[in-house]
Amino acid sequence: MIKSFLLACMVLASSLAHADRFTQMNQTELCVYTTQLQVAAYYFFEQGKPREEVSIKWHGDETPNEIDFVTNIVAEAYAWLTNWKGSSNAMLPAQSFGDMVYQACMSKKDS
């Protein structure tokens, strides 16, 4: 009985250790993380750096799912900013962009 329990705990701990970080976040944490990524992309975009030249520094222990998540968030930010720039005379201030992104993410939580 005890051996079965210890084995189950080891399997659970192992699966948690390899789980994606963002899947373990609550909605508020996920929205903050997503907003940080998109605001970082905003700064590169504002500097005129093409998306392909934005270098993401990895720690080395990311799962493929985590890498895809971060890469997609940055790409989505670039696509949105490109669209905005094409249809507007001025860029949104970084704070307004971050606020908008965060509020949009948090509104998904409430729906």
To the nearest whole percent, how much of the chain has pLDDT over 90? Answer: 61
The encoded tokens of residue 59 equal: 């720690």
- Annotate 45-79 with b (16+ C-beta within 10 A) or e (fewer): beeeeebeebeeeeeeeeeeebeebbeebbeebbe
Mean pLDDT computed over every residue of the chain:
82
Q: What is the pTM of this model?
A: 0.77
Residue 109: pLDDT band by 50, 70, 90 thresholds? low
What confidence score (pLDDT) does residue 19 get? 65
